[in-house]
């Protein structure tokens, strides 16, 4: 094992290893949000009027198009971690080459599709007339950088799968500093406004992708090797990555679609509410990203222990992740809520927008740990080989409920405001998280790792037949 890689299968060091793994992952996610926040703040302070609302309007659409395909990076992470846990270097190399081929092809396809179709989506979302041109301009430039986003995310997911979370953090730190400095130059000096922010984002995405590729090519004496001439779609690995990652991508698509519908409803409340909602959403993102890092860490560790056939460690990993989620939720939510008015003031300048942001912040943050629990159970299900089930549960439990809320509850005059719209989230987390937990424990109980090395899921069936 490389000294920079973390042991993910030793039970007596599991909690310490998870903390060492999750901390850089958490800082990486928070760093990404800081760069996004800097886009909003710099453009809001020095750019045209309604710049914050224009950029915020694009977030659900970007998530819908980009995150759907980034779900396949989840498949790469799970499969690579299983290879790592099983010490299967040859298969790991094929996973790496297939993943990078997939990132390049998907990145180009998503970038072209987003650049061509984003304006039509904005019209469908009923984007206010005073910001739609800014939003369309931002998206057209943003999608140029999507291929680099795909390459970085697939590459970093492979590094995380073998316990290396520090290097992706370093790469993102460097690219983020570039992003902030260019933002100041393009927005304040060159006066390019929303377009300048989008250009800076694309440049920083290119830098992050370049750094992760160069590092992977230079990586020696590691679990896997990466060579450009070996990049291709290996049939078996492509199928396995797709089998694990596609349901995650579909789940992300459905979640993003429900959020897109909610954004359409928020648009009907006016630009001030839209700006406050975007500011609140940006602040909430710091808590979500910290919790999501714990859930992703649980998936990687559980996948490695699944590959190493350590059943007891899988549930330990899940338990430790839930503890860490409660800790980071409590600390970050308390800080944000105590400083809510001042933090919102960095994004928006009007009292109406700040009040709207406060409504959403309190509705979401007080119960946000439920979202972290829901994600952890879903990720652990994927780690033990069940990827379609959590996607179905999330689609029905979370997204289905929110759409019912938008179409049937929100139009009622008493509920026709941002507060009640935001409250649909915690209710959906309770419903979905409960079902995900029941599914995980039921399927975890069926795992048997005693004789059959090739297919642990099939093994449980054979074991039951022997006992019968």
The reported pTM is: 0.75
Mean pLDDT of all residues belonging to the chain: 86
Q: What Rg, from alpha-carbon coordinates, does the chain have? A: 22
Average pLDDT over residues 224-240: 88
Say which range, 51-55, 80-84, 171-175, 359-363, has the weakest mean pLDDT.
51-55
Q: What is the pLDDT of residue 369?
A: 97
Q: What pLDDT was estimated at residue 348?
A: 81
- The CA distance from 45 to 409, in Å, is 36
The single residue listed with the structure tokens 């304006």 is: 119
pLDDT top residue among 329 and 176: 329
Would you state the pLDDT for residue 120?
87
The CA–CA distances, whole Å, from 108 to 59, 62, 113, 271, 461 equal: 20, 15, 9, 33, 42
pLDDT digits (tens, 9 = 90+) for 180-217: 899 999 988 888 888 999 999 999 999 999 999 999 88
Residue 65: is its pLDDT beyond 80? no
Length of the chain: 468
Secondary structure (H, E, C), 84-141: HHHCCHHHHHHHHHHHHHHHHHHHHHHHHHHHHHHHHHHHHCCCCCCCHHHHHHHHHH
**pLDDT value at position 452?**
40
Better-predicted residue by pLDDT, 338 or 353 = 338
pLDDT in tens, 69-120: 877 888 998 899 889 888 888 899 999 999 999 999 999 999 999 888 888 8
Q: State the Cα–Cα distance between residues 85 and 82, nearest whole angstrom.
A: 5
**Sequence-ordered list of residues with C-beta below 8 angstroms from that of 348, at least 6 positions apart, any chain:** 44, 52, 275, 276, 279, 354, 357
Q: How confident is the model at residue 450 (pLDDT cuts 50, 70, 90)?
A: low
Per-residue pLDDT band for 130 (boundaries 50, 70, 90) equals confident
């Amino acid at each position: 094992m490389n000294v920079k890689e973390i042991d993910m299968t030793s039970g007596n060091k599991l909690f310490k290893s998870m903390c060492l793994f999750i901390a850089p992952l958490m800082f990486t996610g928070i760093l990404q949000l800081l760069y996004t926040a800097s886009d909003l703040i710099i453009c809001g302070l020095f750019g045209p009027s309604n710049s914050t609302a224009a950029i915020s309007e694009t977030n659900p659409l970007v998530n819908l198009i980009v995150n759907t395909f980034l779900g396949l990076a989840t498949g790469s992470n799970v499969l690579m971690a299983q290879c790592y846990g099983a010490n299967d270097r040859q298969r790991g190399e094929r996973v790496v080459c297939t993943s990078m081929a997939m990132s390049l092809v998907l990145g180009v396809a998503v970038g072209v599709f987003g650049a061509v179709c984003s304006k039509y989506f904005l019209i469908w979302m009923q984007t206010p007339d005073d910001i739609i041109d800014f939003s369309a301009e931002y998206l057209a430039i943003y999608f140029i950088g999507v291929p680099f986003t795909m390459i970085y995310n697939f590459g970093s997911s492979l590094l995380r799968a073998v316990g290396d979370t520090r290097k992706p953090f370093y790469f993102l730190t460097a690219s983020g500093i570039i992003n902030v400095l260019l933002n100041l130059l393009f927005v304040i000096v060159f006066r390019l406004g929303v377009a300048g922010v989008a250009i800076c984002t694309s440049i920083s995405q290119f830098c992050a992708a370049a750094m992760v590729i160069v590092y992977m090519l230079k990586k020696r004496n590691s679990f896997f090797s990466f060579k450009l001439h070996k990049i291709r779609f290996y049939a078996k690995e492509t199928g396995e990555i797709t089998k694990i990652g596609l349901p995650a991508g579909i789940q992300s698509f459905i979640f993003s679609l429900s959020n897109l519908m909610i954004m359409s409803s928020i648009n009907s409340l006016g630009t001030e509410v839209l700006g406050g909602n975007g500011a609140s959403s940006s602040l909430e993102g710091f808590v979500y990203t910290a919790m999501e890092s714990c859930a992703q860490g649980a998936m990687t560790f559980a996948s490695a222990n699944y590959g190493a056939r350590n059943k007891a460690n899988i549930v330990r990993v899940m338990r430790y992740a839930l503890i860490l989620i409660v800790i980071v939720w409590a600390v970050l939510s308390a800080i944000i809520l105590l400083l809510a008015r001042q933090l919102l003031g960095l994004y928006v300048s009007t009292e109406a927008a700040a009040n709207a942001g406060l409504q959403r912040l309190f509705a979401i943050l007080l119960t946000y740990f439920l979202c972290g629990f829901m994600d952890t159970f879903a990720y652990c299900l994927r780690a033990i080989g069940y990827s379609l089930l959590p996607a179905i549960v999330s689609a029905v439990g979370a997204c289905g409920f929110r759409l019912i809320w938008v179409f049937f509850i929100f139009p009622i005059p008493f509920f026709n405001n941002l507060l009640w719209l935001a409250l649909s989230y915690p209710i959906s987390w309770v419903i979905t998280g409960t079902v995900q937990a029941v599914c995980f424990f039921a399927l975890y109980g069926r795992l048997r790792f005693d004789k059959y090395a090739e297919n642990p899921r099939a093994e449980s069936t054979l074991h039951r037949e022997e006992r019968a």
